[in-house]
Amino acid sequence: DTEVTQTPKHLVMGMTNKKSLKCEQHMGHRAMYWYKQKAKKPPELMFVYSYEKLSINESVPSRFSPECPNSSLLNLHLHALQPEDSALYLCASSQDRLVDHFSGANVLTFGAGSRLTVL
Amino acid sequence: AQKITQTQPGMFVQEKEAVTLDCTYDTSDQSYGLFWYKQPSSGEMIFLIYQGSYDEQNATEGRYSLNFQKARKSANLVISASQLGDSAMYFCAMREGISSGSARQLTFGSGTQLTVLP
């Protein structure tokens, strides 16, 4: 069982719909991430939250709106999406310790993903 | 410029044989971490093994080992005794240290699709 839970697993939406993807972790991690992955491609970073504050936004269109209500939850609100936004959306979490020497604490733990189809 | 390069889009290996997946990286940081993830067709990204730039010994986790050659900037994944369940996409990834300003980012290579043959 994955320790990062994403819901829903599959989502089909029209271009005028508003929906949300949810991510939850109970590992005490203070950094949470959204990645977008197209078929046969590596994941691309969208957003990073550190201690519930948005720390990185990789120039993502405003039709994607992240939210971190508390240290365990991360949402991605979707509105007016385009068909090209269809992809696998992966949530991840990690300790957020900026130390010079890496330890296992810097490993990102990923959820199983939410597969989004925009019609 | 590509920070992580995986030159093998696809690899085949016979069951029970060993296989090496290549990964080279580019960074000017002294402190960085290298990671390998497995992604089956279901989509979940599964962490396999990591190597810190200051670690003197090559990392091992069960059937997985990381052949870390710092001077060559390579971090190849070796899977011993391949199993049918090892068939998946494998991604090499890097996380740079504080000085790079991108310490929270994990940068992925393009991936290698491994197929284990019975």
pLDDT digits (tens, 9 = 90+) for A14-69: 988 899 999 999 999 988 999 999 999 999 999 999 889 998 888 899 999 999 99
Query: Maximum Cα–Cα distance for chain B, whole Å?
Result: 47
Residues of A with CB under 8 A from a CB of B: 2, 31, 33, 40-43, 45, 48, 50, 55-56, 88, 90, 92, 96, 98-104, 106-113, 115
Please name the residue of chain A whose CA is at the shortest distance from the CA of residue B30. A100
Average pLDDT in the A92-111 region? 75
In Å, how far is A56's CA from the nearest CA of chain B?
9
Interface test with A, best of B34, B36, B45 (most A CBs within 10 A): B45
Which residues does chain A have within 8 Å of residue B110's beta carbon, measured at their own beta carbons? Answer: 41-42
Q: Is the pLDDT of residue A104 over 60?
A: no
Question: Pick from A33, A42, A101: which is nearest to B31 by CB?
Answer: A101
Per residue in B87-110, pLDDT tens?
999 999 998 866 555 556 788 999
The pLDDT value given to residue A56: 82
Question: Which residue in B has a C-alpha nearest to residue A103's C-alpha?
Answer: B52
Distance to chain A for B82, nearest Cα, Å: 22
Q: Which residue has the tokens 């992809």?
A: A87
For residue A100, pLDDT over 60 is answered with no
Residues of chain B with C-beta less than 8 angstroms from the C-beta of A99: 98
Residue B70 to residues B2, B53, B54, B77: CA-CA distances in angstroms? 17, 8, 10, 14
pLDDT score at A110: 95
Percent over 70 (pLDDT), chain B:
92
Residues near A9 by beta carbon (within 8 Å), at least 6 away in sequence: A112, A113, A114, A115
* Contact criterion met (CB below 8 Å) for B112 and B5: no
Nearest-angstrom CA–CA distance, B8 and A63: 35
* Residue A53 structure tokens: 């504050």
Q: Is the pLDDT of residue B54 over 60?
A: yes
> In the predicted model, what is the mean pLDDT of residues A68-88?
95
CB contact under 8 A, B53 and A31: no
Average model confidence (pLDDT) for chain A?
A: 90
Tens-place pLDDT, residues B20-50: 999 999 988 888 889 999 999 999 999 999 9
B103 to chain A: which residues are within 8 Å by CB?
Answer: 98
pLDDT at B64: 98
Kindly report the number of other CB atoms within 10 A of residue B113's CB atom.
Answer: 15
State how far the Cα of B114 lies from the Cα of B112, in Å rounded to an integer. Answer: 6
Q: For residue B73, which amino acid is it?
A: K
Say if the Cβ atoms of B106 and A45 lie within 8 Å.
yes
Distance between CA atoms of residues A45 and B73, nearest Å? 23
CA distances from A19 to A8, A90, A114, B24 (A): 10, 16, 12, 39
Q: What pLDDT shows up at residue A107?
A: 87
Contact B36, B77 (CB under 8 A): yes
